[in-house]
Chain A
Amino acid sequence: MNVLIDRFDVFAGGFWLTFQICVLAAIGALVLGAVVAVLRISPVPPLRALGTAYVTVFRNMPLTVVMFFAAFGLPVLGSNADFLRIPVLDQVFTRLGTDLPYFRFALIALVLYTAAFVCEALRSGVNAVSPGQAEAARAIGMTFTQNLRFVVLPQSWKACIVPLGSVIIAMIKNSALIGFFGVVGDLSQSADQLTSAEGFAFVPVAIGISIGYLIMTVPLGALLDRIERRQAVAAR
């Protein structure tokens, strides 16, 4: 068990890096997912088709394939994902600015993949608002934007918070994949590094890595359960 204490810095560093990519990917996916959701409920058919196509493609494709596209396809196209070297952000999230592009590639893949699920969660929230609400709003003469702003969105926000949380939890778990795509030093890559390269015993390392992920996923899941139960009581 000494490895947990002796190499605590490795575990902490891995946790910190995984946490960073999760925060960045969550923000990116929420923004992109919201855009796609708007496309999917827009009144213009081609936009709707675009949104639907996006969701169909990315929901039915394994994240692994998306990662492969990002990690091996983008370099072939001559891109280093340099547009993600955002001036102020890369001071906080130092990996964004490094010369090795794998962190940025992994981030792109995670955002693209998760956005499809975020879109579905948001849409399920809009669909959960009973049709009578929107009809009533139109009946008293509200415009489309007023309808969304004052009637539909405030209610759908409540309905989609739990599905959104599930999506984020799934994303945290999916982020374990980045260690296998060239991102050095995240939690899953640390597991590989410590056991195969540095020859530490397997079980303690596995326990340490697992704790790193459980710290992020279990409390979030418990929080969601709480919110859900509270909403179930309120709905009665």
Chain B
Amino acid sequence: MSQQSVLYDVPGPRQRRLTLVLSILVGLLILVGAYFLVYLPMDEKGQLTLELWGPLIDPGNENFSAVWDRISVGIVNTLTAAALAIVSSLAIGTLVAVLRIQLKTLVKRRFTGFATPVSYLLRGLSWLLSAVTRVCIEVFRGLPVVLTIFFVARGLPEFGITMDTLFYLVIGLTIYNSVVIAEILRSGMEGLPPGQREAAAAIGLSPLQTTIIVLLPQAFRIMLPALISQLVVVLKDTSLGFIISYEEILNIGKQIIGALSNPIQVYIVIAVLFILVNYSLSKLAQYVQRRLARGRKTADTPTQNPPAVALVSQAEGGASGV
């Protein structure tokens, strides 16, 4: 919004009149377009009849309560999967982020107190560990979530592990999202001013203590908007449960369509539900971001400028949802 006022001059009376006329014209054009492109085709195929919409919006309809009972089961299942997935990916993601930061300092260590071969061995080992985690992160970040879920649901039974489809979905989502969250947190920690780490070292904290007591809480704070955006992504991704026939809302929708054969109507209702929840979540993220940007105005806190990396991973996190 702020950009608009910069791109254009403040409109004078003539410009304002022009804008008003244009607005009315364009508004009419959009309405006409909507009539011909949306209303007419829908009407022609009889998609606007109460017969198809009734079970979803008319409380008097015989199927109304049954349909909404099923839909609420779907909503509950979707939310359960999303909640479990976000909690476990936050926990694992934090662990992975701490691990990566630890390994990074470990790689820099020279192990001078040991005999030469031992120190070389230790250095090689820590380098190897760090490389392995790096590769794992890249692999899981580069794989589609659909496939991780599919692989988990298809692969675990091959090794004799069978469980509820809910847990396949949660595990699949966790694998992907914990890695993304780990990257968000890591970029948050690395974006902090080096003084934080140096000060912690100066008062005698070990690297692990530094990470846990000093860096991690600040990273959480700076990255809160990105983390909330990731929540939106997780919520959207739970809809993938349908490929492993978990009874989330889309699957329920499919059952309803099987009984009532009204696909467009059911999907519109499901889409509206998703949009409502996710829109409020993204508004929350924006609100938190503004709060943080206003921030503590006392000292030179790093909160004012989230690092560039962070913004990118945020954009990616927002986009990578299915």
Contacts and interface: CB of A to CB of B under 8 A. Distances in A.
A15 B177 CA distance: 25
B143 A173 contact: yes
Interface string B20-63: 00110011001000000000011001010000000000000000
Nearest to B28: A46
A232 B310 CA distance: 13
B142 A72 contact: no
Contacts of A127: 2-3
A202 interface: yes
Interface centre among B47, B147, B239, B263 (most CB of A within 10 A): B147
A2 interface: no
Interface residues of A, number: 69
Of A57, A166, A180, A231, most buried by chain B (CB within 10 Å of CB) is A166
Main secondary structure of the interface of B (DSSP, over half): helix
A210 B282 CA distance: 31
A224 B2 CA distance: 28
Given A43-B4, A166-B319, A173-B145, A64 B267 contact: no
Given A41-B7, A69-B264, A131-B2, 20 more contacts: A41-B3, A41-B4, A64-B242, A65-B239, A65-B274, A77-B264, A134-B3, A152-B7, A170-B321, A174-B144, A180-B146, A180-B243, A188-B144, A202-B154, A210-B143, A217-B141, A217-B143, A218-B142, A221-B142, A228-B309
Interface of A: 41, 43-47, 50, 56-57, 59-65, 68-69, 72-73, 76-78, 117, 120-121, 124, 126-127, 131, 134-135, 138, 144, 147-148, 152, 162-163, 166-167, 169-171, 173-177, 180, 188, 191-192, 195-196, 202-203, 206, 209-210, 213-214, 217-218, 221, 228, 231-232, 235
